[in-house]
């Protein structure tokens, strides 16, 4: 047992754990021992699972019945390790799926998978595929920009034509009628319409004048009896 002293603390180095500085607290020393023991147990589970995988792969090629029994034992061991926290739940699920794939491959149900059992892929590499995808995206973007430019140009032309249309129609409307039969007929029609409007306005003013003239004799008739009375007197 070695002792290491310092100005603020005194630490005891254990011969059983040369790399760890143990605290003076009894509970902490106990927790270090428990963690070391649990770590060894976890390593035992992982090592046993790897060994059983190798045994299962050999048995699947020679004896299918033995492989079935080993598969059941291996799946039970994986579940037990996952329950103790040695393996993550997703890791345990992948390992059980691997066991099932080995059994199915031995029975001829599924095809072999993996880089060692599959044929080499023929074709382009990932880098070439990535370059092609980038070029395709760039060309598609350029086509979209061209279409947008054409639409904007068409919209600008349409707006320019719409702004020029009123200026072209105004001089034609204000221009005097040129000589010809159609222009003369139009002028005559306008003159007739104006004459009819003047006639209607004169007829509307005539009744008011006649009513004023008719009122004057009535007044004279009312005055005559008074004059007659005055003369009689």
Residue 76: band (very low, low, confident or very high) from pLDDT cuts 50, 70, 90: very high
pTM of the complete model? 0.39
For residue 108, what pLDDT band results from cuts at 50, 70 and 90? confident
How far apart are alpha carbons 43 and 41 in whole angstroms?
Answer: 5
Q: Which residues, including other chains, have CB under 8 Å from residue 110's CB and lie 6 or more apart? A: 101, 104
- Residue 45 in this model has a pLDDT that exceeds 90: yes
The proportion of the chain whose per-residue pLDDT surpasses 70, expressed as a percent, equals: 62
Q: Give, in order, the Cα–Cα distances in Å from 50 to each of 73, 78, 150, 228.
A: 13, 11, 66, 154
């Amino acid at each position: 047992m070695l002792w290491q002293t310092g100005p603020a603390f005194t630490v005891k180095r254990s011969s059983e754990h040369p790399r760890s500085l143990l605290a003076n607290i009894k509970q902490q020393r106990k927790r270090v021992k428990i963690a070391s023991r649990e770590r060894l147990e976890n390593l035992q589970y992982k090592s046993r699972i790897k060994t059983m995988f190798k045994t299962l792969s050999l048995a699947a090629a020679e004896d299918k019945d033995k492989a079935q029994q080993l598969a059941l034992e291996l799946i039970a061991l994986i579940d037990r390790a996952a329950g103790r926290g040695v393996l993550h739940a997703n890791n345990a699920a992948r390992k059980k799926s691997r066991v099932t794939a080995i059994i199915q491959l031995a029975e001829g149900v599924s095809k072999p998978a993996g880089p060692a059992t599959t044929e080499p892929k023929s074709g382009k590499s990932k880098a070439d595929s990535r370059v092609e995808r980038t070029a395709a995206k760039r060309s598609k973007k350029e086509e979209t920009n061209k279409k947008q430019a054409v639409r904007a140009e068409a919209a600008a032309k349409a707006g320019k034509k719409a702004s020029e249309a009123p200026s072209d129609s105004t001089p034609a409307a204000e221009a005097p009628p040129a000589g010809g039969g159609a222009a003369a007929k139009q002028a005559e029609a306008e003159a007739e319409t104006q004459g009819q409007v003047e006639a209607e306005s004169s007829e509307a003013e005539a009744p008011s004048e006649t009513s004023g003239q008719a009122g004057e004799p009535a007044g004279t008739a009312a005055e005559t009896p008074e004059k007659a009375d005055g003369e009689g007197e």
